[in-house]
Amino acid sequence: MNAEREQLKISYARLFDTTAEILFRHDPLGINFKYNTDEYHPEVGTILPRLESATSEKEVLQIIHEELIEWFDENMAGPKEKYADSATEIWSAWQKFKAGD
């Protein structure tokens, strides 16, 4: 799994770190303890490949929510709405990545 994550970091360059930073900053799961900045890396590793099929911010929101339910559970993930700010930022970062910025 770590080898796959390292390959994703290479494939997605800065987008991997940006997406992890967004989730860490918004911390929708309450797992940010200020020192564990890689806490969302596993989840980012499953979110990024799915962005390839996303055509809207709404779909990114759905992807994030589904992946965090998969990694944790529905109770811990909570309602989809709490991921809205993260989805907005990740959608923007994804658009920049696709444009080559």
Domains in the chain: boundaries: 2-99
CA distance 12 to 67: 18
Residue 64, amino acid: I
Question: What is the percent of the chain where pLDDT is above 90?
Answer: 65
The answer to whether 45 touches 20, Cβ cutoff 8 Å, is: no
In this prediction, residues 76-84 reach a mean pLDDT of 94
Q: Does 18 have pLDDT greater than 90?
A: yes
The answer on pLDDT for 1 being more than 60 is no
SS3 of residue 40 by DSSP: coil
Query: Does residue 97 carry a pLDDT above 90?
Result: yes
Q: How far apart are CA 3 and CA 12, in angstroms?
A: 14
pLDDT of residue 91: 98
Share of the chain above pLDDT 70, in %: 89
**Quick check: 62 and 81 in contact, CB under 8 A?**
no
